[in-house]
Structure 1
Amino acid sequence: MRGPALAPLRDRRFRWYFASRAVDLLGDIMGGVALVFAVLEVSDSPSAVGIVLAAHSIPMVAFLLVGGVLADRFGRTLIIQLSNVTAGFTALAIAALVLSGTAEIWQLAALTAVNGVAAAANQPALAGLLPQLAPKGALQQANALNGLLRNGSLVVAPAAAGALVVGVGAGWAIAINGATYLLSAALLLPIKLPAPPPRDDGDSIIKDLRTGWGFFRRTTWLWIIVLAFGVLNALSSGGFSTLGPAHAKSSEIGVHGWALILSAGAAGLVVTSIIFLRVPLHRPLLWGMLGCAVYSLQMIALGTTTELWVLLLAAFVGGAGIEIFGLGWELAMQEHVPPDMLSRVYSYDMLGSFIAIPIGQLAFGPLGAAFGLQNMILAAGIAYGVISLLTLASRSVRTMSRAPVSPTESTTSSPVS
């Protein structure tokens, strides 16, 4: 593990975190792909897909702020473990219903909602944990390694999920997802971090939330990007994630073709992650939002053609673009937000970014039925590109640079739990 690109892996704690994320991501991505097709087996309707997806995202959004406070108060590893165990049992219950042939849409929606509550605690904690396990001077490499892991999973897992759905049914992929949640929680047990600093008795959850909100509203680049992503995520979740599989299933693209499109996008993510293990990203938000504009090309292509090679190329380029944004955003947050409130600020970011996802999931099904699936996918892609470019009108977004790193910070990870 020589060289700066792999420097974070020298830390034993980061290696356990890395193993936990590997297991979690492989199962979670397979389960997500399989769940969509499990719903389509129960009810052959894009609206049913939207209902089940929204059943996850609505409680996730509703409880995100509380999840951020819990992670900052009680320790991020503990919150991640508890949420993974909860999500594991709900996934196994969904798998049992699907495999037994007794699943109904309301049952899938209810269990997915419990999983959404677990995700509300899990995501701010995960986002705040990584900078504790890597020196500040190696944050880009740590995030790139994390991205490489996530993106490599996106290459392998959708294709594996597609093969399972076609071969033995969606339930087995969902069952694997449940088991990986439990294993992921166990792999975090060796990570020992200092306990969060004691708080005054008067420091209530409401006070913690107000502190995080005060920082959020004073930071221009932060609320501008979050506001934009409130719309962008609705467009991608509705136009791509909800209508995309339905369009693929009803056209010559097919289930296997859809899995290949997801894998092609993931390949673009992987290549970009490898590049940024060594290439510094000096203007994280400028290049990030340009990358978002490029991401819109996969929806534009899906809305205009069914030629698989065109769709695969557009997905690859789009994946590369969105990975640049993902890396840039993590660096901006981790280097410019105080460590002791990082999970709380992430929870405000996630709340604003995710709040309209259920609207996209629920609205695009009926809109696709009324105006045509491809027409709505195309409209979503064009709007996504335009909004991404409009954020660059803000000087704070265009000009943000990386934070300076002292010699001590370049070799020491954050002690905040």
Structure 2
Amino acid sequence: MQSQPPPAPHRRFAWASRNFRIQTAATVIGGLGNAGAPIATAFAVLEGGGSTAEVGYVTAARLLPTVLLLVLGGAVADRLPRHHVMVGANLFSAVAQAGLAAVVLAGNAPLWQLMLLSAGGGAGYAFYSPASGGMVLESVAPEHAARAFSVYRMGLNAAQIGGAALGGALTAAVGPGWVLALDSGCFLIAAALRFLLETVPPAAPAAGGGMLRDLREGWQEFASRRWLWVIVLQFSVLVACISAVEAVYGPIVAKERLGGARDWGLAMAAYGVGLVATGVLMARWQPRRILLVGNWGVFLFGAPAPALALSAPLPVLAAAMFLSGVGVTVFGVNWMIALQQEIPAEAFSRVAAYDELGSLSLAPLGTALAGPAAVVLGLSGALWACAVLCLLLSAAVLLEPQVRRLSRRPAGAGAESGADDAADGPAAPRTEPAPTR
């Protein structure tokens, strides 16, 4: 009697399409360089004799073009194949980072050159980010969205751990210029991988429309959802505070009171461990009230500020950074599920761009004013102000009923099961089933 062939082995990641695997791999590689680049940039300014204010100015120079160009980047990503947009943005960022590395390695780079080349990296990100979010959504079915977002973020967050630790160690060992050169190389590899993505044709634009019409429609989708713009308004101030803490005050405290770039890199790596550890949880946990649970994570965002204000030793600072990473993943996964569930696929990149534009809108101002705030309030006073603002904003957003009530919609469920009792006015969330991506 002839034996039967063994059954085909179960594929644990059968839901992960080729595009999802390539996009995740490219994101991990790009994330390795990106995690070390902010550390290297801050210490390049400090080692060149720069002040706290100048660190803030260079950081603001990177954020400003991102804020100015994000909406345009979202409109482009909804009109063109998204992987083409990402490849172009990655190549542009690679050139900008290579230029930044060159001027840092040459020594005594003037502030304007550091600001100009940092701005180039920010411009590349403005086109990359909206396209990237849309590409992930297109590559998985809605019923696998939570798992996909968690796996994707775990890959990115693992890169955060390795990149931050490596970036801090290399900055201390060989100097910030080589870390920036490594970031440029990572962008090139990520671009090459994304070139292999299969093209997903964008939705055909309506006849008689143009870029302005696309932007207007994206704004209507964004503004019609109160839960969306309330949280974005919250994040506009929150991100300004967190940017000042992590990009300006953190490196200063590390240089003056800890072990410099190496210790700050280890603290950032602890943040990454929090991101990854919680990603494992979020791959399995499916809370019903997605924005309510997500906002509980926001309460942890400001944990590093008190630790820095108190000049806590490295283990305590690392624990605070870990908690912050936990909060970011809890919020981030639930936020992406809300967007995937409620936003039409054809408008996703534009809405994501308005989301990020609003969230980053005050970040350049926050980092530019970080130095003057430290002069007026003292470094510890400025850090405590950031911590208090984070707590107040996290509590205030829960006053909005739609934030508390927006519920996860089971795959294939009808209109009523998704909206639950969140619809309490004309700005209620979408009630039709989420489109297939």
Q: What is the TM-score of this pair, normalised by structure 2? A: 0.90
Please identify the structure whose Cα radius of gyration is greater: 2
5 Å-filtered alignment, 1:174-189, equals 174-189=180-195
Change (3 A) 1:187 1:252: closer
Determine the structure 2 residue equivalent to 1:24. Answer: 30
3-state secondary structure, aligned to 1:294: coil
Determine the structure 1 residue equivalent to 2:56. Answer: 50
3-state secondary structure, aligned to 1:116: helix
CA deviation vs aligned residue, 1:78-119 (integer Å, no higher than 9, x gap): 110000000001111111111121522111111111221111
Shift of 1:7: 4.2
Give the whole-Å Cα distance in 2 for the aligned partners of 1:360 and 1:322: 20
Asked if 1:286 is matched to 2:288, the reply is no
Determine the structure 2 residue equivalent to 1:219. Answer: 225
Determine the structure 1 residue equivalent to 2:142. Answer: 136
3-state secondary structure, aligned to 1:321: helix
Give the whole-Å Cα distance in 1 for the aligned partners of 2:99 and 2:236: 31
Shift of 1:199: 2.5
Give the whole-Å Cα distance in 2 for the aligned partners of 1:252 and 1:324: 29
Change (3 A) 1:320 1:7: farther
- Match of 2:217, as an amino acid? T
Query: In 2, are the aligned partners of 1:194 and 1:415 still within 8 Å (CA)?
Result: no
Determine the structure 1 residue equivalent to 2:372. Answer: 366
Give the whole-Å Cα distance in 1 for the aligned partners of 2:238 and 2:223: 20
Compute the RMSD of aligned alpha carbons: 1.8
Query: In 2, are the aligned partners of 1:244 and 1:377 still within 8 Å (CA)?
Result: no
- Match of 2:409, as an amino acid? A
Asked if 1:165 is matched to 2:171, the reply is yes
Determine the structure 1 residue equivalent to 2:387. Answer: 381
Change (3 A) 1:415 1:321: closer
Asked if 1:252 is matched to 2:219, the reply is no
- Match of 2:78, as an amino acid? D
Count of aligned pairs between the two proteins: 409
3-state secondary structure, aligned to 2:303: helix
Determine the structure 2 residue equivalent to 1:275. Answer: 281
Determine the structure 1 residue equivalent to 2:90. Answer: 84
Give the whole-Å Cα distance in 2 for the aligned partners of 1:143 and 1:2: 21
Asked if 1:337 is matched to 2:343, the reply is yes
Shift of 1:205: 0.8
Shift of 1:27: 1.2
Query: In 2, are the aligned partners of 1:265 and 1:315 still within 8 Å (CA)?
Result: yes
Give the whole-Å Cα distance in 1 for the aligned partners of 2:119 and 2:179: 19
* More displaced 10-residue stretch of structure 1: 123-132 or 298-307: 298-307
Where is the helix percentage greater, Structure 1 or Structure 2? 1
Determine the structure 1 residue equivalent to 2:431. Answer: none
Shift of 1:317: 1.5
CA deviation vs aligned residue, 1:356-391 (integer Å, no higher than 9, x gap): 001110111111123211221111011101111110
Shift of 1:233: 0.5
Give the whole-Å Cα distance in 1 for the aligned partners of 2:235 and 2:351: 15
Q: What is the TM-score of this pair, normalised by structure 1? A: 0.94
Q: Which runs of 4+ in 1 moved over 4 A?
A: 1-4, 413-416
Give the whole-Å Cα distance in 2 for the aligned partners of 1:3 and 1:405: 21
Give the whole-Å Cα distance in 2 for the aligned partners of 1:265 and 1:28: 14
CA deviation vs aligned residue, 1:246-276 (integer Å, no higher than 9, x gap): 1221113533222221111111111000111
Determine the structure 2 residue equivalent to 1:199. Answer: 205
Determine the structure 2 residue equivalent to 1:410. Answer: none
Determine the structure 2 residue equivalent to 1:112. Answer: 118
Give the whole-Å Cα distance in 1 for the aligned partners of 2:218 and 2:130: 13
Give the whole-Å Cα distance in 1 for the aligned partners of 2:260 and 2:103: 25
Query: In 2, are the aligned partners of 1:134 and 1:414 still within 8 Å (CA)?
Result: no
Query: In 1, are the aligned partners of 2:42 and 2:247 still within 8 Å (CA)?
Result: no
Give the whole-Å Cα distance in 2 for the aligned partners of 1:350 and 1:7: 31
5 Å-filtered alignment, 1:301-320, equals 301-320=307-326
Determine the structure 1 residue equivalent to 2:403. Answer: 397
Determine the structure 2 residue equivalent to 1:60. Answer: 66
Change (3 A) 1:354 1:279: same
3-state secondary structure, aligned to 1:295: coil
- Match of 1:223, as an amino acid? W
Query: In 2, are the aligned partners of 1:91 and 1:175 still within 8 Å (CA)?
Result: yes
Determine the structure 1 residue equivalent to 2:46. Answer: 40
Query: In 2, are the aligned partners of 1:302 and 1:378 still within 8 Å (CA)?
Result: no
Shift of 1:404: 2.7
Query: In 1, are the aligned partners of 2:240 and 2:366 still within 8 Å (CA)?
Result: yes
* More displaced 10-residue stretch of structure 1: 166-175 or 308-317: 308-317
Determine the structure 2 residue equivalent to 1:127. Answer: 133
Give the whole-Å Cα distance in 1 for the aligned partners of 2:310 and 2:237: 22
Give the whole-Å Cα distance in 2 for the aligned partners of 1:373 and 1:57: 22
Query: In 2, are the aligned partners of 1:8 and 1:14 still within 8 Å (CA)?
Result: no
- Match of 2:399, as an amino acid? A
3-state secondary structure, aligned to 2:98: helix
Shift of 1:45: 0.8
- Match of 2:328, as an amino acid? I
Please, which runs of 5 or more residues in structure 2 have no aligned partner?
Answer: 1-8, 414-433
Shift of 1:8: 3.8
Shift of 1:402: 1.2
- Match of 1:289, as an amino acid? N
Give the whole-Å Cα distance in 1 for the aligned partners of 2:21 and 2:246: 34
Shift of 1:187: 0.3
